[in-house]
Structure 1
Amino acid sequence: MSHLLPPDEEARIAALRALALLDTPNEPVFDRVTRLVTVLLGVPRATVSLIDTDRQWFKSQVGMDISETPRDVAFCAYTVLEAAPLVVEDAKQDERFAANPYVTKSDGIRFYVGIPLQSSQGLVLGSLCAMDSQPRHLTTQEQAAMQDLADIVTGEIHLRERLIKEQQIRAATQEALSALHQSLEQQIERRTRELNLVIESAYDAYLSIDAQGRVLDWNRAAESMFGWRRQEALTRPLTALMFPEGLSYPDESTPITCDATRRDGVRLPVEVRQKSYELHGRLRRSLFIHDITERQQLERLRDQQAREDVLTRLPNRRALDERLPEAMARVRRTLSPLAVLFLDLDGFKRINDLHGHAMGDELLRDMAKRLQQAVRETDFVARWAGDEFVVLLEGVAEEALEPLAQKLIHVIEQPLQVGSTVLQVSTSIGVALFVPDAPETAHELLKRADVAMYVAKRAGKARIELARPADITPTL
């Protein structure tokens, strides 16, 4: 089958190529989303699909053993064409897809939903897709969950667009700076007017200093960035204006990242590019200073998202993997108690089966809030996976553990009213105490708590089981 093209196809392809995502390796930020799609909708296949000129390429896929398909057989091509969510409840009953080879083959696609992924200019680059080999109906809650996950992917795309734009600006600035300094001594008179125009209109702060670090030139961007007017800054040293401890001058091909101080005392993260030259036998330095506050904020946001569970907003397994070794190190240093509680919800699968995954997600979010409210602010609650949670308790006496675990069981057992539906689950808890003298890794400590949880579950659920003690190597 041939494929129709959207009216903005040329601009769309240009935006896709500029994003530099095609034919790149898998990345956790996209793979987490496709895995969540399969869990939330209960489907075997999910993809982050990008529609190229003649192909559909998968940036991330679950349940698929191929990385791309021709565009003319891609369901996602219709999502791009219509620029709206596409839901196909039974592909064999849809004349657009009934003869599609990916539908007619054994175990082919019967159900499909695709949510558009748009650039910051509104161009549809591809879609977040879920597929099943059985016909099915997509609920309003499931479509809303898909849209939320697609928004996460879209946010990542927009972040990359901003970073690429910033890199282009920096590259353009560096290129302009290199051009300005090329044969500067021979061209200085002829290019003075052009140089002043570039400097005054530059987005970055520009400074020219002498060998003693005193300001010889100061553009409008520097005035705005640091709060000193040009006439106030001229002849003053950098140490009195923005770098109290001075500024090092390493390899000029490498930018310096450091903090500068504004006139009002506010510290500002900056990236400094510099170039030294001689003018009439005297050393001069040109500095271009770029405010990197927004870039650092974006990097911190990405780092936070990498350690946060999307559904519950609790710390995720990666965050736990970082926190637990730190807690164990404190125990070995201070000999204060540490307990790991591994919780698994009893009856959660029945909630999903009876009421759907959207209702199950609401229950998980509520359970996460309950656990956080039931422990101290200094304690650590993480979502391990699915309906499993881990709680780290530092400085809690052993005799207080059982009452606290019973409290958590009671908290979890309280019914949750969602509309006219009442949801209720219990929890089984495995408790592992960390002994400072034990040569035990974080993985082994978690494993002991996990095994104890399964013992509690097999013993009747809504129970607490203390893990067997860790092996301790005798001290010679």
Structure 2
Amino acid sequence: MPRYALIAEPDRHRAAGLLSLVRQEGLEGVVARDGAEAQDLVRLRGAPTLLVTDLALPRVDGFALLAWLRGRSDASDTAVMVVTAFDELRVRAWQLKDALGIHALLSRRAGPEAMRDGMRRALAGQLAGHGQLELDAEVEQRRLARIDELKLVEPGLPDAGLQELVAEVAQAFGVPVALLTLVLGDRQWFKAHVGLPPALAKDRGTPRDWSFCHHVVQGREAMVVPDATRHPVFRDNPLVRDGIVGSYAGAPLIASTGDVLGSLCVIDTRTLMLGPEDLAALRELAGRVAEDLEYTTLRGRTRPAAPRPPAATEPVLTEAAALALVREAVSALAVPVLVVAPGRKPFAANAALAELLGLPEDRLSGMPFDSLRQHVASLTADPGGTLRRLDLAAEGSRGVDLTLSLERPQPRGVRWVARPFLVPGGVAQLLSLMDLSGGADLEAQRERLLRQDALTGLDTRRVGEERLAKEIGRCRREGLPVSLVLVDLVELGDINHSRGFDAGDEALRELARRAEGLCPPPGFAVRWTGGSFLLALPGADAVAAEAVRQRLHDAPGPPGWVSIAVTVQGEEDPNGTLDRAHAALARAKPERKPAIQKD
């Protein structure tokens, strides 16, 4: 087994502290910022000697990651240390510790010595930690007193400004529901909300026992539940059983006193494909909302009855004024930056970005955002593939972080990073293209390897799963079918053995070219595993998918592969569709029917 420790931790600073501890134990440390990335690293490197993980991970939660790991034949000796801020998740993990193979279970509040001791005990196969709640009645009383002091719970309709804010948050994160929630003694109360069913919107709250935001308040950290329907803590929640909450992400509203008032959260009925950057963006927005809530309340209470003289009147910051201030800051930066106003309208670019993209600075500021993406894609060796990646990244207008290779005006690697920020008119974006050509960026290289297959140029399975979930969701909303074709180059081993690995690589590239040619947008092809590819066909029913599969085999030349086509059934979970596809392909391989194999 490779001697390395895998740290699944979204927070970079905490990951750095854990890295230091594992290195003291003589292990190489590797960091994954979400559960799906952790799975990819295990697939690449094999099961680790030690896994240190949180339970609230983006994309694939910690419970699902542990269950998946324990299903691998090479992970029987992997030691597992869980570190989480969420007490009730930790209690449930303690109950499942034997099934999940957990050796150490610690609160985030544990000190460095306790962390080091827990890690050593886990490596020695000894149990460390406990599964007890760590309630602090004094902290809870102080928190509730702060909510009362600020008079945040008020009768009547929700504030129009806050309603507009949560609507913008829902739009920015591409979800149907967003809430600004205060967690009270026995219930959660929605100070502002969008997308709720009428009954919940009327009541403006639920019992605290039903509240996901309660966990955010208790843990004082952002929490994401990618799939609540399968989560051992939340799957029996009434809101989940009723189909109202399928996934959740929330960030704490922390007052200046340190008290957590509630949460800014987003909710979807289906799997939530938010990454660590999205969670960081939500956390930043929540911090600003908490500041605004506190400031507005206190300012309203201390405002004098008599009107202030004009000179003392506080200016109202409009959208244009806010963006104008950002424009001044952007123009002074040496790194390439573009400000995108609400509604995805490019607003201000600087000279560094214009130079990087080979465009006049004034043209950049007025260019439609779609045209900007097309121009950036045209500077790469694969304009079509790059544009698809940029389109996918821009779907939710959320935090984005991906790596591109530009061929023009000169060869260089760049990192495309977008971050949302609030302005009076809604949610704007700060977009930067960081030049990576000046030095080695190992993290960017790893991200590129994890997201794009170097041999075929296709997206990897990790990206394919993200895109597939989004396409299935879109087609369901539009009443369209979705089908998949899974194909496996079964003769790859024979080709490598008899003709060499170069011939095997060329066979894979040829299959990738054929597969990609049969998937016009919004369809796409993915390098699924070593010798298999997935063709996603949004809008195609079973008949159309079978026709695509037949065309794949009708092309000239001896293919040496088998394939199957499946169609998503009703509200079937994407993982269920993939399981059916893999099972059908496994049955097709030994059969090798003449209609599938051509000699």
TM-score (norm 2): 0.33
TM-score (norm 1): 0.41
- Greater C-alpha radius of gyration: 1
